[in-house]
């Protein structure tokens, strides 16, 4: 009964409507039809009693037979209609139960009436989103487990060797311990930044992108020099955007760190800034093997890594570019990635300040007067 509850409701509604219609017809025939029949019979010389008896014997019997036939037909059609209408809904319900059990690859055919097609389309979209979330979750678990296991295993090995006297304390040992600890700090810092980016409300203000870019270049320059990577820039004297300055610093730092990691030794990293009427465009180009075309659209996904072996060697967990996208979209901009063998271009644009932004900024900093 519970399984066919929806169909039973449809059948009951159909029978109820039919019953009301039959009742109206019966009352109309008995009242209006009976009176008209008596008047016609009287006009042709029959008495009132005879006319009434004749009506009862003929019309009423026929009416009852018609009502019985209509009731039987209504029951049959209501049951067929209920079954026909409930099947698509029950199919979606069964599919939803399988989806809840972990069948994220399940899809429904988008056929039938418009409402059923819309329901199936919504179900398929939900299944696709859940499948992607499950894939991201599994990738994160694998990446996080590996990123944590490698430095922790190395730290454990060094500490056990120091404890057992296998190796003597020295500068090289402490340097190796420090490098492994730095890998753990980078991973935890990336996770923390991602969580804060999801939860913290941005505080946009007029921010000079040129100053922020020069600061980010200065911070990453030791890494570039260590790998003999040339750095160049093409920037105007000033490029003011409306963005949270902390978010902008994180965006630029992540992009330059990414470029430094994926540029071959003695390669080149170039930063360009272009000021347009309503936006500021920043691009970071680097030489290197490039990104495969079929993976280019996924580089801004959380925990996604194109070259997993190289990322593990450099300590990346596939979070940096996801933070870039998160902060750029929060500022009202967009990110883009282009690549071909020998060159990769990651870019983003941010909105320039408008009069509305300026008024909002003044309202936040000015005291309230009454």
CB atoms closer than 10 angstroms to residue 288? 18
pLDDT at residue number 57: 61
Per-residue pLDDT tens digits for 96-114: 888 888 888 888 888 777 7
pLDDT in tens, 298-316: 788 766 665 544 444 444 5
- DSSP track, 114-127: HHHHHHHHHHHHHH
User: For the chain, which domains are there?
Assistant: 5-103 (no CATH), 203-357 (3.30.565.10)
344 pLDDT more than 80: yes
CA distance 179 to 151: 9
| pLDDT at site 368 | 35
Which pLDDT does position 51 carry in this prediction? Answer: 58
Q: 117: pLDDT confidence band, cut at 50, 70 and 90?
A: confident
Whole-model pTM over 0.85: no
Q: What is the DSSP letter of 202?
A: P
The Cα–Cα gap between 278 and 281 comes to: 10
For range 348-369, the mean pLDDT? 59
Over the chain, what is the mean pLDDT? Answer: 76
Model pLDDT for residues 220-252, shown as the tens digit of each residue:
888 888 888 999 999 999 999 999 998 898 899
Residue 338, pLDDT above cutoff 80? yes
Span 2-46, pLDDT tens digits: 444 555 666 666 667 767 776 776 666 665 555 655 555 555 555
**Does 369 score more than 50 pLDDT?**
no
DSSP 331: T
pLDDT value of residue 347 = 93
How much of the chain, in percent, has pLDDT values that exceed 90? 18
pLDDT of 30 reads 60
Question: What pLDDT does 225 receive?
Answer: 87
User: Mind listing the pLDDT tens digit for each residue in 118-171?
Assistant: 888 888 888 888 888 887 777 667 766 766 776 788 788 878 888 888 888 888
Residues in CB range of 54: below 8 A, 6 or more apart: 37, 41, 46
């Amino acid at each position: 009964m519970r399984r066919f509850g929806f169909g039973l409701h449809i059948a009951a509604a159909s029978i109820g409507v039919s019953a009301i219609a039959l009742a109206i017809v019966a009352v109309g025939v008995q009242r209006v039809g009976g009176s008209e029949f008596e008047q016609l019979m009287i006009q042709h010389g029959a008495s009132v009693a005879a006319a009434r008896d004749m009506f009862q014997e003929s019309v009423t019997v026929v009416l009852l037979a018609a009502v019985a036939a209509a009731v039987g037909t209504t029951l049959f059609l209501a049951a067929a209609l209920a079954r026909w209408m409930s099947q698509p809904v029950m199919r979606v319900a069964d599919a939803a139960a399988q989806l809840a059990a972990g069948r994220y690859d399940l899809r429904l055919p988008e056929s039938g009436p418009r409402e059923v097609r819309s329901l199936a389309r919504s179900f398929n979209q939900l299944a696709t989103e859940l499948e992607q979330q499950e894939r991201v979750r599994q990738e994160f678990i694998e990446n996080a487990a590996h990123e944590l296991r490698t430095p922790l295993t190395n730290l454990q090995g060094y500490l056990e060797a120091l404890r057992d006297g296998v190796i003597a304390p020295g500068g090289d040992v402490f340097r190796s311990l420090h490098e492994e600890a730095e890998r753990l700090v980078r991973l935890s810092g990336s996770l923390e930044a991602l969580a804060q980016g999801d939860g913290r409300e941005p505080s946009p203000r007029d921010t000079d992108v040129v100053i922020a870019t020069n600061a980010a270049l200065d911070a990453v320059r030791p890494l570039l020099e260590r790998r003999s990577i040339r750095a160049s820039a093409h920037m105007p004297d000033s490029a003011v955007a409306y963005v949270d300055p902390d978010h902008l610093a994180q965006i630029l730092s992540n992009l330059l760190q990414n470029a430094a990691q994926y540029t071959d030794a003695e390669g080149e990293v170039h930063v360009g800034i272009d000021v347009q009427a309503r936006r500021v465009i920043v691009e970071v180009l680097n030489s290197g093997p490039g990104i495969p075309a079929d993976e280019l659209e996924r580089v801004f996904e959380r925990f996604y890594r194109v070259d997993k072996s190289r990322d593990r060697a450099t300590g990346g967990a596939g979070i940096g570019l996801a933070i870039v996208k998160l902060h750029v979209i929060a500022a009202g901009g967009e990110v883009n990635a282009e690549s071909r063998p020998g060159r990769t271009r990651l870019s983003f644009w941010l909105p320039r300040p408008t009069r509305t932004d300026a008024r909002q900024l003044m309202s936040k900093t000015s005291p309230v007067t009454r």
